[in-house]
């Protein structure tokens, strides 16, 4: 009897520890990450100033929450094996930084790696998972991005489960961001492991460039991520990587399209630019609440490419929780294109049953922030090269 009792206890404690924190990412996480703009050039001044900026420039109000330090904050392990942050770049330590970020009403995230070393050769988490998770909890970490460099023969699924269990055992709720670049199809196994999982190699700061190790521009990342919509939903999101909007290469129009498509795909909105100095155009893009509302919609459906219209215009559709529908006409070509969109043709003669769209459905342009009438007549517009026309259809 006694053995049975202990066996039950053991089994239930194993089951209890084998889980992620629920309810932390019912909608896609929103925040900022240092990597795309600053790479290894991170220090506490930058992070504090970034938190100040997010709290005061309209981003926090628009829903951004996490400030995440990517690779290179860590330099070594001490004699106990505890992870040590760079004392020159972070002289006040991570606890003080987390406290500061929390005092702004924001949340704090860090980066580590499942392998023995991070991608930049800093100490990784392998063999120290429980020790690191405890340290993160004591610092006040709310979000962990976990990479997959220098992993030798480690299996991704097992490695991420170990870290998930370590975080859970440390008892501080942490959003767990899986970053193995889609190499083992995490969308098939990660739903109960992490809250988001990268689906591709790194996003580059360009429209459609490619580099030999796999990095690529945002439109190519989008194409890969677009195939995986059925795996995403509340609590577990496809992550097509951090935004490059506002990073100086994409035009404002391209940044706007990038931000819109990430919103349509229910992608985590993790900005990757210097938010301490936003141009008015980029600020308007990153804080457009009506676009963000598509991303944060509680139905949690990843939008999908629905049609390709003449002239290289992709038409994307995202169903929303109140029955509204978001549509994005994306002109991927390098010349302006016109649409003369006959609602009857695409919405089953406006029968109101197949789709919640009739002749009286109202159309709102989410970038012009303006009503465009109803679906009782064709939608005519010219969409500049690389631009989007993004509308919400509702009663
Ligand atoms: C990998 C990740 C990037 C970034 C770097 C840091 O390449 O995919 O997002 O975290 O490592 O070294």
Q: Are residues 258 and 378 in the same domain?
A: no
pLDDT number for residue 15: 54
In a domain, 14, yes or no: no
Q: Which single residue is written with the structure tokens 């029968």?
A: 351
Q: Are residues 114 and 181 in the same domain?
A: yes
Euclidean distance between CA atoms 114 and 117, whole angstroms: 8
In a domain, 358, yes or no: yes
Assign residue 371 the CATH number of its domain: 2.60.40.1180
Q: Please give the number of the atom of ligand 1 that sits closest to the Cα of 118.
A: 12
pLDDT number for residue 3: 61
> How many A from CA of 198 to the centre of ligand 1?
11
> How many A from CA of 45 to the centre of ligand 1?
22
Q: What is the mean pLDDT of each run of 10 residues along the chain (395 residues)?
A: 60 64 98 98 98 99 99 98 98 98 99 98 98 98 99 97 98 98 98 98 98 98 98 98 98 98 99 98 98 98 95 94 98 96 97 95 98 97 98 95
Q: Are residues 286 and 377 in the same domain?
A: no
Q: Are 320 and 383 in contact (CB under 8 A)?
A: no
Q: Are residues 214 and 344 in the same domain?
A: no
Specify the number of domains making up the chain: 2
Edge to edge, what strands does the sheet with 388-394 contain?
Answer: 304-309, 313-319, 325-331, 388-394, 362-365, 370-374
Domain residue limits at 310: 304-394
Q: Are residues 198 and 53 in the same domain?
A: yes
Euclidean distance between CA atoms 223 and 237, whole angstroms: 16
Q: Are residues 248 and 334 in the same domain?
A: no
Neighbours of 12 (CB within 10 A): 10
Ligand 1 pocket, residue 239 CB under 6 Å: no
Strand runs (DSSP E) across the chain, as ranges? 30-33, 66-69, 74-77, 83-85, 107-113, 143-147, 175-178, 196-198, 237-239, 269-271, 304-309, 313-319, 325-331, 337-341, 362-365, 370-374, 379-383, 388-394
Q: Are residues 263 and 322 in the same domain?
A: no
Q: Which of 244, 262, 295 is the last residue of a domain?
A: 295
Q: Are residues 167 and 37 in the same domain?
A: yes
CA separation (Å) from 166 to 122, 145, 176? 20, 14, 11
Query: What residues contact residue 211 under an 8 Å CB cut-off, 6+ apart?
Result: 204
Q: Please give the number of the atom of ligand 1 that sits closest to the Cα of 241.
A: 9
Q: Are residues 49 and 185 in the same domain?
A: yes
* Threshold 0.85, pTM exceeds: yes
Q: Are residues 128 and 251 in the same domain?
A: yes
Ligand 1 pocket, residue 147 CB under 6 Å: yes
> How many A from CA of 114 to the centre of ligand 1?
12
Assign residue 157 the CATH number of its domain: 3.20.20.70
Q: Are residues 277 and 354 in the same domain?
A: no
Total H helices, total E strands in the chain: 12, 18
202 is catalytic: yes
């Amino acid at each position: 009897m006694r053995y049975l009792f202990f066996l039950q206890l053991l089994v239930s404690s194993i089951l209890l520890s084998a889980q992620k924190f629920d309810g932390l990412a019912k909608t896609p996480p929103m925040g900022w990450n240092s990597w795309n703009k600053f790479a290894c050039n991170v220090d506490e001044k930058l992070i504090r100033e970034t938190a100040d900026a997010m709290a005061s420039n309209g981003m926090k109000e628009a829903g951004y929450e996490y400030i995440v330090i990517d690779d290179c904050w860590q330099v070594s392990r001490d004699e106990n094996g505890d992870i040590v942050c760079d004392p020159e770049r972070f002289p006040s330590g991570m606890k003080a930084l987390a406290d500061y970020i929390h005092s702004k009403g924001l949340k704090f995230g860090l980066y580590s790696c499942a392998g023995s070393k991070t991608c930049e050769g800093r100490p990784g988490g392998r063999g120290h998972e429980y020790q690191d998770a405890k340290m993160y909890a004591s610092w006040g970490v709310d979000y962990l991005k976990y990479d997959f460099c220098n992993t030798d023969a480690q299996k991704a699924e097992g490695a991420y489960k170990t870290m998930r269990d370590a975080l859970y055992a440390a008892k501080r709720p942490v959003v767990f961001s899986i970053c193995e670049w889609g190499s083992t199809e995490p969308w098939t196994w990660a739903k109960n492991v992490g809250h988001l999982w990268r689906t591709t190699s790194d996003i580059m700061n360009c429209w459609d460039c490619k580099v030999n190790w796999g990095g690529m521009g945002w439109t190519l990342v989008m194409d890969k991520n677009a195939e995986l919509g059925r795996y995403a939903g509340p609590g577990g999101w496809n992550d097509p990587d951090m935004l490059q909007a506002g990073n100086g290469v994409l035009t404002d129009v391209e940044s706007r399209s990038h931000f819109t498509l990430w919103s349509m795909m229910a992608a985590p909105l993790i900005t990757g630019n210097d938010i301490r100095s936003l141009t008015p155009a980029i600020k308007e893009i990153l804080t457009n609440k009506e676009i963000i509302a598509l991303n944060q919609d509680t139905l949690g459906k990843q939008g999908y490419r629905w049609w390709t219209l003449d002239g290289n215009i992709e038409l994307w559709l995202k169903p929303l929780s109140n029955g509204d529908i978001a549509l994005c006409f994306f002109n991927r070509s390098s010349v302006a294109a016109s649409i003369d969109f006959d609602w009857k043709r695409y919405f089953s003669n406006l029968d109101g049953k197949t789709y919640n769209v009739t002749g009286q459905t109202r159309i709102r342009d989410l970038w012009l922030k303006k009503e465009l009438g109803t679906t009782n007549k064709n939608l005519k517009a010219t969409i500049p090269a690389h631009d989007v026309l993004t509308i919400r259809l509702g009663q």
